């Protein structure tokens, strides 16, 4: 597939991220090698790494060290469930065991995205993901404008960014309805995949008690990955 993409000439990108669930990281070597051979810099995002056991994290460190040069290695807080102390531990462990710079991709399910990103930076992470007004799936990501302010950006330099937020991104946020909520906070605390909340919130007429019972059912059944069948089962249970 990569060869087909490159057949018509070079692509207008020079950096590619490979995102993989931590449990499947052993299968990325071929993709990483192929991308590097094609001239791309490669970043590796380890998703849901908060679910990995200490032994699995140690194995991931060894695996990544054997992949060859990466532009960065990301701790991806895919469920929005991580807290700052654990973020710092993961960053330090990955920094100590392999050569790639470490980054954090945070989600704001519990309202901790900015705090977690700053904790990652303090622990030595140098790639810090952020989006304007946190635009991203579900509860969204670390907010660029907040991160810049927290890192000491001069207020006058920050003003154009805030103007952009007010003019363009707040209307988009109201239209597409991303951002933190109580349901996303529950999902983050109980390690439920955020797509369940997105789908529950699409049914605006749905009673909040049904949504809460559905989330409780999903949490008790450890639904860290999304499936439509699991959502239907949770809603059937919640409707009883």
Mean pLDDT by 10 residues, the chain (240 residues): 71 92 94 92 96 95 95 96 97 96 97 98 98 94 97 93 97 92 96 95 85 96 95 93
Beta bridge partners of 131: 143
Q: Which two tokens stand for residue 130?
A: 């952020």
Among the candidates 110, 129, 148, a domain finishes at: 129
Residue 151 lies in a domain: no
Print burial letters for 213-227: b (CB count within 10 Å at least 16), e (below 16): bbbbbbbeeebbeee
Q: Number of structural domains, the chain?
A: 2
Q: Are residues 213 and 94 in the same domain?
A: no
Q: Are residues 124 and 203 in the same domain?
A: no
Residue 54's pLDDT is 95
| The pLDDT of residue 8 | 72
**pLDDT for residue 204:** 66
Domain that holds residue 19: 2-129
DSSP 49: G
Phi-psi region of 90 (alpha: psi -120 to 50; beta: other; left: phi over 0): alpha
Domain boundary among 90, 106, 129: 129
207 Cβ contact list (under 8 Å, min separation 6)? none
Using CA atoms, how far apart are residues 185 and 179, in angstroms rounded to an integer?
11
The alpha carbons of the chain give a radius of gyration, in whole angstroms, of 19
């Amino acid at each position: 597939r990569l060869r087909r993409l490159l057949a018509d000439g070079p692509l207008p990108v020079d950096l590619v991220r490979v995102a993989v669930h931590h449990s499947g990281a052993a299968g990325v070597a071929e993709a990483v090698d192929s991308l590097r051979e094609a001239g791309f810099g490669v970043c590796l995002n380890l998703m849901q790494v908060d679910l990995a056991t200490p032994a699995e994290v140690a194995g991931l460190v060894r695996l990544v060290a054997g992949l060859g040069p990466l532009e960065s290695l990301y701790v991806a807080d895919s469920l929005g469930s991580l807290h700052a102390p654990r973020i710092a531990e993961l960053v330090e462990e990955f920094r100590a065991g392999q050569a790639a710079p470490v980054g954090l991709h945070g989600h704001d399910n519990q309202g901790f995205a900015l705090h977690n990103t700053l904790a990652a930076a303090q622990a030595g992470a140098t790639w810090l993901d952020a989006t304007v007004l946190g635009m991203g799936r579900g509860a969204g990501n670390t907010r660029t404008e907040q991160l810049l302010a927290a890192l000491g950006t001069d207020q006058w330099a920050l003003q154009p960014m805030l103007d952009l937020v007010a003019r363009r991104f707040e209307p988009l946020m109201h239209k597409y309805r991303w951002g933190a909520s109580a349901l996303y906070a529950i999902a983050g605390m109980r390690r439920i995949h955020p797509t369940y909340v997105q789908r529950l919130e699409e049914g605006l007429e749905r009673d909040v008690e049904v949504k809460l019972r559905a989330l409780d059912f999903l949490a008790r059944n450890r639904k860290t990955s999304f499936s439509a069948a699991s959502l239907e089962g949770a809603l059937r249970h919640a409707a009883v």
